Amino acid sequence: MNSQSVEERRVNDNSKIRACVSGKSDFVNRWLDICDKSHNRETKWIALLRYWGFKAAHPNDGWIDREDKNIFFSYPQFFDNLQVGDMVMLGWASDEPKKWRPVRVIKKMDWFMSSHKWAFKDIDGWDNTAIKIAAEWMK
């Protein structure tokens, strides 16, 4: 069993990657910094959404049927025992609140090979002030 923390393993992995680079190590250093910042931002975002009572989050991309208002959770950022009536955040861990779309699940539908799609409706009157504060916190 590995007694290292996740952060310690990450630092060791980053060191191994840097040691294997010839020539443009500054590129690899920059890339790893970008990945670390992205990971940290997403971790904060997920914690915030869970605190607010969201049960799942998914990128607002091609798996969202905007016309029929349903979603297949192909690669959710998190998915915590979602049920009808729960809130879902569509979007990305970004400090740009306009990229966030809070919705509420209104129906669970059977889909391809025992999977499910989830119908949703937009949440009216979402508190934009809270989102702006959260965006500042995530920077």
Domain that holds residue 33: 6-138
pLDDT tens for 24-42 read: 667 777 888 888 888 888 9
Instruction: Name the residue with higher pLDDT: 57 or 114.
Output: 57
Predicted local distance difference test score (pLDDT) of residue 28? 77
pTM of the entire predicted model: 0.74
For residue 1, being part of any structural domain is answered with no
For residue 104, being part of any structural domain is answered with yes
Domains in the chain: how many in total? 1
Q: How far apart are CA 100 and CA 122, in angstroms?
A: 11
pLDDT tens for 74-124 read: 999 999 999 999 999 998 887 676 778 899 999 999 887 768 899 999 987
Q: How far is CA 26 from CA 35, 39, 52, in A?
A: 14, 20, 39
